[in-house]
Amino acid sequence: MSKTQLTSMECPSCGGQLEVSADGVSAKCRFCGSTQILQQPTAQLDRLKDLPNASLTIRHRMPTISLDSARTKIIEEFERDPIGFRAPETLDMKVEGGYLPVWFVEATIHCSWYGKYSETRTVTKYRSVTKHRTVTKTRLNGEPYSTTESYTEQEPYTDTETVWHPCNGAHDFAAFFKMPANGDFALENAFLPREFDPGKTQSGFPTPEPKHLVHPATVTQREAWEKHGCLALITEQANRECASQAEQLEKVVPKVDRADFMLVFLPFAVVTYSANGREYRHLFDLTDGSFTGDMVALDHTSVDAEGLDSAVHLAHTSQREIDKKIADGQAEIARKRRDIFSPVRKWGWAFALPGLLFFVAAGSGYGLIWALFWLVLIGVSVKFLIIRSKASSEAEAMKQGIEAGFPKETPWRTFITDRRRDLLRLRRIVGDRTTITSQLPPDEAEKHSEHMQRLRQLEGEDSPQAVQEAERIACSLCEVPPSLPAEMSR
């Protein structure tokens, strides 16, 4: 084949015939005139190798899943979702294949570490102790006498002490990194394989297949290394690796002896389509079938949002009215109870008479007054108990009569229980309509996807957590007060 000979393939933009140059670097479409970069010339690849002590190997993986299979798997994902978009096969799905360049790095790290180890040994120490002794002294008249005096003496004792000795050494380990090698894609750069087996790759650039583009590597070794913060990550790993080397680790100095960079082109497909007034975008791994990006489109007509909102307010208002009737009835019970027990409170003052007789009898000591005290006390107590018993019976009958007229309906709890799946689905639809996951930062996109998946999981559960989540959604979406204490306590 001569150098000017061309190879034909399909244009990923319009499906027309591409003319690929013999060097395999670029191709031009005969129909739309677009130029596609298929692989990079050697000079560009040499520019990528700009990190000292770093090697560069170029490899690729071949796709095991076709673009049609990727489309089919996305449609299956629609069908698995209870509110997945109806008739997804009618959507105008655009499936573009390509190879995404990714840096895989294995760095050999040599660590010099400094620390201390301890030695416990037995030593002899001295302490001051006070002792006493008898001595003979002479008075002024020359007469001798005995007395006791105190004195201090250094006494030896045995103790243990810990001595720290400096130590140092070296420790080698390997650090692994994976980083995007193309900075033009937001969604694609977030799509890095969790596990990678170099044995499944082939040497060199991939041969472009129909409707597949080889995206060029534009991020150099140094740019990827610094943007990914590899040195900081190596320092953290070095401290973990050397933690067991010394009893007290004081300093770790890691040094990158060698960094083996492997530029791997991974096959993927981007599936895009428009639904619900917005664009959905999924990134599909053509080697294992996994995909990321947006959640698949939901059927926004599967829930009557306006009708559900109206039903929420109706149930909430009805429950408020019922709670008010119950609160008014409980207030009436308390008022009538006070009226019924009014005679009981009045008869309580009658105990002042036997109390007075008690003080008189205790002061006089007359037996007649003591007899009168007991007689009055027993009479007042019996009368008080009779009146109180009658009041209690009347109050209980009054309470039961009023409570019998309380409404038995629980419209709010009934609504939340019966319509919780619709509420959960509405929350998913609102989140799907307002948030495009691919436009979020990676951490927020992951939280959003987890939240949407959790809502999907709750739809199939009858747990109290699912009901509580539906209640919170009803309150947040329909702007109603978040609690109904009277109703929830029944």
What is the spatial distance between Cα 451 and Cα 152, in angstroms, rounded to a whole number? 78
Domain co-membership, 172 together with 279? yes
Q: What is the DSSP string of 192-246?
A: --SS--GGG-EESPPPPPTTEEEPPP-S-HHHHHHHTTHHHHHHHHHHHHHTTT-
Q: Are residues 11 and 54 in the same domain?
A: no
Say yes or no: 174 and 320 in one domain.
Answer: no
What is the pLDDT, as a whole number, of residue 424? 93
**Neighbouring-strand partners of residue 37:** 26
CB-based contacts of 6: which residues, under 8 Å, 6+ apart? 19, 20, 21, 22
Q: pLDDT value at position 335?
A: 93
Calpha distance 483→488 (Å, rounded): 8
Q: pLDDT value at position 192? A: 63
| Beta-strand relationship, 35-37 and 26-29 | antiparallel
> Do residues 136 and 97 both lie within one domain?
yes
Boundary residue ending a domain (299, 328, 351): 299
3-state secondary structure of 446: helix
Based on the domain organization, do 404 and 347 belong to the same domain? Answer: yes
> What's residue 368's pLDDT?
82
Structural domain boundaries, residue 478: 305-488
Say yes or no: 362 and 294 in one domain.
no
Domain boundary at 271, 299, 327, which? 299
What is residue 351's predicted lDDT score, i.e. its pLDDT?
83
C-alpha Rg value of the chain to the nearest Å: 44
Structure tokens, 183: 């900075």
Assess whether 327 and 290 both reside in one domain: no
Question: Do 381 and 271 fall into the same domain?
Answer: no
State the DSSP string of 297-364: PB-TTSS-HHHHHHHHHHHHHHHHHHHHHHHHHHHHHHHHHHHHTHHHHHHHGGGHHHHHHHHHHHHH
Neighbouring CB atoms inside 10 A of 176's CB total 10
Task: Note whether 29 and 73 are same-domain residues.
Answer: no
459 and 404 in a single domain? The answer is: yes
Indicate if 376 and 246 belong to the same structural domain.
no
Q: What is the pLDDT of residue 218?
A: 86
pLDDT for res 330: 93
Return d(Cα 367, Cα 209) in angstroms, integer.
122
Q: What is the pLDDT of residue 1?
A: 29
Our count of domains for the chain comes to 3
**Spans of the chain below 70 pLDDT:** 1-15, 20-28, 32-44, 184-195, 208, 365, 483-490
Residue 476's region, left for phi above 0, alpha for psi from -120 to 50, else beta, is alpha
Residue where a domain terminates, one of 299, 320, 341: 299
| 282 CB-near residues (< 8 Å, 6+ apart) | 74, 270, 271, 272, 291, 292, 293, 294, 296
- Amino acid 327: pLDDT: 92
User: Is residue 334 located within the same domain as residue 222?
Assistant: no
